Amino acid sequence: MKNTKRYIYPLLLSGLLALGAACTKKSSNGGDDGGGTTPVTPPPVTPVKTDVNMWLTQADQSQLLKKQNVSLLFASGTNSNTTINVDTTQTYQTIDGFGFALTGGSAYLLNSLDATHKTALLNELFATDSAHIGISYLRITIGASDMSAATFSYDDVPGDVSLSNFSLDKEKADLIPILQKIIAINPNIKILACPWSAPAWMKDNNNFYGGSLQAQYYGAYANYFVKYIQGMKANGITIDAVTPQNEPLNAYNNPAMLMVAADEANFIKNNLGPAFKAANITTKIICYDHNADHPEYATTILGDAAANPYVDGSAFHLYGGSVNSIGPVHNAYPNKNLYFTEQATFGGGNFGGDLAWHISNLIVGAIRNWCRNVLEWNLASDPNYGPHTSGGCSTCLGAVTIGGANVTRNVSYYIIAHASKFVRPGAVRIASDQQNTLLNVAFKNTDGSKVLIVLNTSASAQQFNVGFNSKIVSTSLPGGAVATYIW
């Protein structure tokens, strides 16, 4: 199996346009962040009276998370339009948040900005007021991922079973300082951590690339997790959840480690779970963390009577399989949670095609299949899609591209922002009518506000209604566009 992050999925390819990837270099106001002419400030617009606020992103990037000054008033009556009825009386899972992976490379790039630009960008990404996008969930790596400059673990001294040489010093240059700044902006942000590999000396090939964890080191590796969580806590960083292994069926990345379902179940029930319990660690253990084409990996672990009590739920990616394979795991184990923890966008992709695929499969699809969160992959990359390890993903596109002092916002920024800005942690998914070419998902926030995210998958504009409490409001969406409605 190849590195799964290099897959370019068929639906994305079918949406490629001649415009290419150059169009992704626009900011949230449609201007060019990389220099050029100074944007002209438009004259002020008097807001119209409205019951529903609408935020729009179009496939051609003429509108990018732009609030629309349109009057959307609920009224009695009917018309011939398709109606998406929203029903707050039917509730589903609670939402933990939306966000990205803060890889080591991302942290390095964010930390490389001068103080003024760094503060401005971190506030834009993580502040929860109306002017920012309010990222509420992060995934970080335990040791290096393939989006680090080089491979490493927190104890690279061979044979150090006591972990006397364990140290987080390698994270004190960039990751820990950036996380501390993020937590200062949003103290309630949830953080999921997972390794790409155990220390090489614990593996049967003594290498960060491929190989498997040797059973004789299961106990030491469980204590490695304990020391990590305690060490991060000492730096003011609470780890909400861990997965034992990123992409455990993908041994072809750098770093990577193969861990089949039976081995992960054994590690959880005999080592990791008991080690957390002995250390009074309440961090959740989430199993699997790989593609939807093998949901039986998750159900194997959840079906293990000794492992099950330690496991909060299971996590999925979508480089293989169908998003609709995730929901049946909830049906089989309804008391266990589901998470969507990674999907990359790639350099050379098309903004409109990527927008539609990710909104359809992640923001709508994963949430409708009971996931409590949605995470895109890399938060930040440089203009050459780095930093990354030798053999790591060389085309993974960050949500933002950081080149010197220039910051450009790419497609995954808008994919996540259409949810993170409006759907706050603690919200619940509520019922909404799914339509063939108007894919959608709805939420109710803890403050009572309702959120409806709609994607028009057709090539032409569509008129439709949003129905709520026996009233309707009529609206329209251009072909390929996504809108968030909030009332």
The full set of domain ranges for the chain reads 50-94+428-487, 96-425
- Residue carrying the six token digits 């949406």: 15
Beta-carbon count within 10 A of 339 CB? 28
**Six-digit token string for 200:** 């090489």
- Per-residue pLDDT at 483: 98
- Per-residue pLDDT at 13: 34
Interatomic CA distance for residues 176 and 181, integer angstroms: 9
- Per-residue pLDDT at 30: 34
Fold of 96-425: TIM Barrel (3.20.20)
CA distances to 48, 162, 166, 425 from 67, rounded to whole Å, are 12, 56, 49, 22
- Per-residue pLDDT at 38: 60
Check 124, 171, 264, 342 and give the catalytic one: 342
**Six-digit token string for 17:** 């346009």
CA distances to 1, 244, 454 from 213, rounded to whole Å, are 19, 11, 44
Active site residue 247: yes
Interatomic CA distance for residues 209 and 198, integer angstroms: 10
Structural contact between residues 337 and 316, judged by C-beta atoms closer than 8 angstroms: no
- Per-residue pLDDT at 16: 33
What H or E segment, with its residue span, contains residue 466?
A: strand 462-468
Mean pLDDT per block of 10 residues along the chain (487 residues) reads: 39 35 36 45 86 98 98 95 97 98 98 98 97 98 98 98 98 98 98 98 98 98 98 98 98 97 98 98 98 98 98 98 98 98 97 98 98 98 98 97 96 98 98 96 98 98 98 98 98
Instruction: Identify the bridge partners of residue 212 per DSSP, sorted by sequence position.
Output: 258
**Six-digit token string for 141:** 């790596």
Check 124, 171, 247, 376 and give the catalytic one: 247
Fold of 50-94+428-487: Immunoglobulin-like (2.60.40)
Active site residue 124: no
CA dihedral sign of residues 215, 217, 218, 221: negative
The pTM of this model reads 0.92
